[in-house]
């Protein structure tokens, strides 16, 4: 079996360091050994931004620039714009019948997002069922592996469940995917919050200019008990150290800093100064490539058009197999005996 990756992002703004740690890094690393598809999920973006279509439209290009700037290579990976693949919506329609509303309401990530977005009782139907549409994205490309942040684990489990159920009911057509979650876990926000989020005001974006990064790091939450440099400080739950763990190329130096911080005698300012240097070393080349690509939007558009056409062909083949297995659209042919299950 060929090894295939499908993963993606909602285009509701530029991507940030949390996206990099959670998923972009794996995609760039694995794109040469896996058949890789990366989906810009503009239809999924509508499920929580129905009233901001201009934002989504603008963000498709932003996200594409982020992908190319971090090193997703359109020569080996296929970048697909979801709205260019209507087959995904048809697949989702079939899958909606294979999952219960109660099952969807139990999804911990959806519950948490509903709370954050203040949806409560007013959740859009499309939002509640977006994990089903995501199952369509994943299975349409016959993905075996889905590199995602920790919060997306329940989505991949649901996709596997739907694939299993489909295969049992209609015949073996779909591939059951597995999640690939990085060991680092999720990157906290600059405010020390559990997750870096575009809409939470606690993100450092891959496209942030150097001076903005400096300001954001200076304003970062640390250990509130670490008042004077001479006080012993806590490393656990301190986002400055979480970022150093994720981005510093010299883990031994980070361990030494942690020891000094714990013992007392190392100020937040010094640790933040190191983080500023580390992030600048990481982001400067990304920023430069991004600026170069942004100056040539026609080239980026060509990448998206070509990728979407290639992706659509793959999804269309899966949809044809799905329809054939279900006998959908074959009302004019003799009806076979029911499958024994």
Give the residues lining the site for ligand TRP (CB under 6 A): 6-10, 39, 41, 44, 134, 137-138, 146, 148, 152
Tokens of 47: 């499920």
Least Cβ distance, residue 215 to ligand TRP (angstroms): 26
C-beta of 93 vs 330, nearer to ligand TRP: 93
User: In the complex, what is the shortest distance from the CB of residue 182 to ligand TRP, in angstroms, rounded to a whole number?
Assistant: 14
CA distance 71 to 166: 36
Work out how close the CB of 9 gets to ligand TRP at its nearest, in angstroms, rounded to a whole number.
Answer: 5
Q: How far is it, in rounded angstroms, from Cα 292 to Cα 328?
A: 48
Q: How far is the CB of 288 from ligand TRP (least distance, A)?
A: 26
Q: Decide: 77 and 39 in contact? Cβ < 8 Å.
A: no
Our CB check for ligand TRP shows the closer of 79 and 240 to be 79
Does the CA dihedral 44-45-49-50 come out positive or negative?
A: negative
CA distance 215 to 200: 17
* 240 burial via Cβ count (<10 Å: 0-12, 13-18, 19+): buried
C-beta of 9 vs 35, nearer to ligand TRP:
9
- Which structure tokens are listed for 284? 């400067």
Instruction: For residue 278, give every residue at least 6 positions away whose Cβ sits within 8 Å of its Cβ, in sequence order, or none.
Output: 243, 244, 247, 248, 249
Output the smallest distance, CB 135 to ligand TRP, in A: 9
Given the complex with ligand TRP, which of 135 and 278 has the nearer CB atom? 135
The residue among 137 and 268 lying less far from ligand TRP, judged by its C-beta, is 137
For residue 328 the two structure tokens come to 């959908």
Measured from the CB atom, the residue of 147 and 239 that comes closer to ligand TRP is 147
Which positions ≥6 away from 126 have C-beta within 8 Å? 46, 47, 50
Closest residue to ligand TRP, Cβ-based? 41
Question: 60 vs 245, 311, 337, CA distance in Å?
Answer: 30, 16, 47
Nearest distance in Å: CB 7, ligand TRP: 4
Nearer to ligand TRP, 12 or 207 (CB): 12
Minimum distance, C-beta of residue 222 to ligand TRP, in the bound complex (Å) = 28
């Amino acid at each position: 079996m060929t090894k295939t990756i499908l993963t993606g992002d909602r285009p509701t703004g530029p991507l940030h360091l949390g996206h990099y740690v959670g998923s972009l890094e794996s995609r760039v690393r694995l794109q040469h050994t896996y058949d890789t598809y990366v989906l810009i999920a503009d239809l999924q973006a509508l499920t929580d931004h129905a009233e901001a279509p201009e934002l989504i439209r603008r963000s498709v290009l932003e996200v594409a620039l982020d992908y190319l700037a971090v090193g997703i290579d359109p020569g080996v990976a296929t970048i697909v714009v979801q709205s260019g693949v209507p087959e995904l919506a048809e697949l989702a329609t079939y899958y909606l019948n294979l999952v219960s509303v109660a099952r969807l309401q139990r999804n911990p990530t959806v519950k948490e997002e509903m709370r954050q977005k203040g949806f409560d009782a007013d959740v859009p139907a499309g939002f509640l069922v977006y994990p089903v549409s995501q199952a369509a994205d994943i299975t349409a490309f016959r993905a075996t592996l889905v590199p995602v942040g920790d919060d997306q684990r329940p989505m991949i489990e649901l996709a596997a469940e739907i694939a299993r159920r489909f295969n049992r009911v209609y015949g073996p057509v779909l591939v059951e995917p597995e999640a690939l979650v990085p060991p680092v876990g999720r990157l906290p926000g600059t405010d020390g919050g559990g997750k870096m989020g575009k809409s939470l005001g606690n993100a450092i974006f891959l496209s942030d200019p150097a001076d903005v990064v400096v300001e954001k790091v200076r304003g970062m939450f640390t250990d509130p008990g670490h008042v004077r440099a001479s006080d012993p400080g806590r490393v656990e739950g301190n986002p400055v150290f979480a970022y150093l763990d994720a981005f510093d190329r010299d883990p031994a130096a980070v361990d030494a800093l942690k020891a000094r911080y714990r013992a007392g005698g190392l100020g937040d300012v010094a640790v933040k100064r190191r983080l500023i240097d580390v992030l600048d070393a990481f982001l400067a080349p990304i920023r430069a490539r991004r600026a170069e690509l942004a100056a040539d939007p026609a080239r980026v558009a060509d990448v998206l058009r070509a990728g979407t056409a290639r992706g659509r062909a793959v999804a269309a083949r899966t949809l044809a197999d799905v329809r054939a297995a279900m006998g959908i659209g074959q009302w004019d042919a003799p009806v076979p005996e029911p499958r024994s299950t």
